[in-house]
């Protein structure tokens, strides 16, 4: 049974791992909110404050934070 935690991804349109993460969410029927930090300066600042990093993707699952596309960690957190 998949978790109902809020899933958010901070991404850019040119990021291969961002696309891979979003494809993973879609393939596993995981609803997510996508923030393009390439154009949204407020969300970029929010991402850096949360993660301490400028690299993407930064993914939050509830209160858990993942930097990069870590499929095994996402599967564990989302129970998919």
Which pLDDT belongs to residue 28?
96
Instruction: Identify the bridge partners of residue 21 per DSSP, sorted by sequence position.
Output: none
For residue 52, give the CATH number of its domain: 3.40.30.10
Answer whether residue 2 is part of any domain: no
Answer whether residue 11 is part of any domain: yes
Structural domain including 21 reads: 7-78
* Number of compact structural domains in the chain: 1
Answer whether residue 74 is part of any domain: yes
Answer whether residue 1 is part of any domain: no
Answer whether residue 30 is part of any domain: yes
Residues with Cβ within 8 Å of residue 13, at least 6 apart in sequence: 36, 38
Which pLDDT belongs to residue 5?
85
What pTM does this model have? 0.93
Answer whether residue 12 is part of any domain: yes
> What is the full per-residue pLDDT of the chain (80 aa) written as tens digits?
445 789 999 999 999 999 999 999 999 999 999 999 999 999 999 999 999 999 999 999 999 999 999 999 999 999 99
């Amino acid at each position: 049974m998949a978790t109902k935690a809020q899933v958010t991804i901070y991404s850019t349109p040119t990021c291969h791992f961002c696309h891979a993460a979003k494809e993973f969410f879609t393939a596993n029927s995981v609803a997510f909110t996508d923030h393009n930090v390439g154009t949204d300066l407020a969300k970029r600042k929010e991402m850096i404050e949360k993660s301490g990093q400028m690299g993407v993707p930064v993914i939050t699952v509830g209160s858990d934070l993942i930097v990069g596309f870590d499929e095994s960690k996402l599967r564990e957190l989302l129970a998919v």
